[in-house]
Amino acid sequence: MTLLEIFPSLRSGMMSPRLDATVWPCETHYDDLSRITVGGVALADIADQYGTPTYVLDETEVRRRCQLYRKYFRDAEIIYAAKALLTKSVASWVSQEGLSVDVCSAGELAVALAAGVDPARIVLHGSGKPFSELEAAVNAGVGRIVIDSLTEVTLLAAVAPRRQQVLLRLSPDIDVHGHPAVRTGVIDQKFGFPLGSAAAIEAIDRVIRQPMLELVGFHCHLGSQIHDPDYYGEAVRRLIAEMARVEREYGITLPQLDLGGGHAVAYRCGDSEMNLAELADIVEDALDAACALNHFARPRISLEPGRAIVARAGVTLYRVMTVKHIEGGRTFVIADGGMNDNPRVALYGARYEAVVANRHPTGPHMTATVAGRYCEAGDILAADVSLPADLRPGEVLAIPCTGAYHHSLASSYNGVGRPPIISVRDGRCSELVRRETPADMLVRDLG
């Protein structure tokens, strides 16, 4: 008999340092066999049934996050940013929860439409939308298109079969001090038009004068992993002032203001995340003040969260291939996945936790670096994590908070196909996307 069986109350105390409630799906527990379960399904069973690496996605957690946004932003439109993760099921879950969907390519548009998302509730983004994609979008009846360049004004006007609602993307010169790869609110970056610049003024003018386009508002996206809600308040103030200028000059009252996404989630225990209640208050107060100051009617706010909807719902499973203690160096745990299924460590220096999922380890721990199987030294999954000292090949590792920008950023480098996505809910699992196989790769290779 183990100590835990004699004193079951010890279990929660022993678990808490590693199964931190802010980084795992809400329904994460240990079962009677001391294995981690998510949505009522043991992760080790999923690894056995579907192989590894495998993305696990908790449907209830995705829906819960949608509901939280709806609760805190009752009057706003919540538009799910599909670039974080898109499958037909994810698109239908978020739609059922009352969210619209933001897509940024014909591929994402096709998945959203195949899932039955109402085209009127789809928003198309992109800094260089090909003509064919604009055509696919207008023909599908996409509700709004976010204009990112002057070229697009001309192309869209030419291709639109009927008057098309558009938003214009402006960069409000707000520096959220994130990783340079994802800082999009500043002036010197490729998206949209710098607020107040000659280019922005010309773009607004051209859209308004273009009879096939109906300007319904402005859009901005400040960046990623933003945990300070004040940046959004500042964006509201700057953009409302511009909307008021348009009203004065053209007599048009723009009814929508899209503040983009970028709400931070915690990847590791102790990371700060966006507080949605605070964000709601700050946006509300900024709207009140800016609209009063500019004598402007309140527009409807849209928010475009991607990561904050799906990140925490995802857990990625790997098998330990080997454990290497490098003399004078680190201890490496080599997993059977890596940068193909999670390039975020190599791209942004992201940090993750890793936990053994097939047992509840109670013995001594070691500090190790979980590395991938791919042919690059930078192929790391989790640096300096605490893992059981007796970790063995074949055991199942779980990395939490991997629902956003993992499957969507995945590659098939070294000829290793992308992992499947298995959803879990109420003790059952279902295969949303199957594993990519060598046969899939050969289908594309025409010889």
Annotated binding residues for substrate: 307, 344, 348, 376, 405
Selection from 201, 199, 285, 177 nearest residue 237 by Cα: 285
Per DSSP, 299 falls in state P
Q: Which of 185, 233, 299, 305 binds ligand LLP (CB under 6 A)?
A: 305
Selection from 259, 254, 256 nearest residue 244 by Cα: 254
Distance (Å, whole) CA 85 – CA 90? 8
Binding part of the chain for ligand LLP, among 57-65, 76-84, 130-138, 368-376 by CB under 6 A, reads: 76-84
- Identify which of residues 46 and 303 has a Cβ nearer to ligand LLP in the complex: 303
> Which position among 66, 220, 375, 429 bears the catalytic label?
375
- Should residue 262 be labelled a site residue for ligand LLP when binding is judged by CB under 6 A? yes
- Should residue 172 be labelled a site residue for ligand LLP when binding is judged by CB under 6 A? no
Residue 360 contacts residue 34 (beta carbons within 8 Å): yes
Residue 123 contacts residue 144 (beta carbons within 8 Å): yes
How many C-beta atoms lie closer than 10 Å to residue 11's C-beta? Answer: 17
Residue 220 annotated as catalytic:
no
Selection from 339, 422, 340, 316 nearest residue 90 by Cα: 422
- Should residue 308 be labelled a site residue for ligand LLP when binding is judged by CB under 6 A? yes
Q: Please, what is the minimum distance in Å from the beta carbon of residue 406 to ligand LLP? A: 8
- Should residue 260 be labelled a site residue for ligand LLP when binding is judged by CB under 6 A? yes
Q: Which residues are annotated as a binding site for pyridoxal 5'-phosphate?
A: 262, 304-307, 405
Q: Please, what is the minimum distance in Å from the beta carbon of residue 308 to ligand LLP? A: 6
Selection from 258, 267, 153, 265 nearest residue 210 by Cα: 153
- Should residue 84 be labelled a site residue for ligand LLP when binding is judged by CB under 6 A? yes
- Identify which of residues 79 and 397 has a Cβ nearer to ligand LLP in the complex: 79
Centroid of chain to Cα 133: 22
Binding part of the chain for ligand LLP, among 266-274, 290-298, 300-308, 314-322 by CB under 6 A, reads: 300-308
How many C-beta atoms lie closer than 10 Å to residue 119's C-beta? Answer: 15
Binding part of the chain for ligand LLP, among 31-39, 293-301, 306-314, 382-390 by CB under 6 A, reads: 306-314
Residue 409 contacts residue 344 (beta carbons within 8 Å): yes
Residues recognised as catalytic = 375
Binding site for ligand LLP (CB under 6 A): 81, 83-84, 102, 125, 182, 221, 224, 260-263, 304-308, 344, 348, 404-405, 409
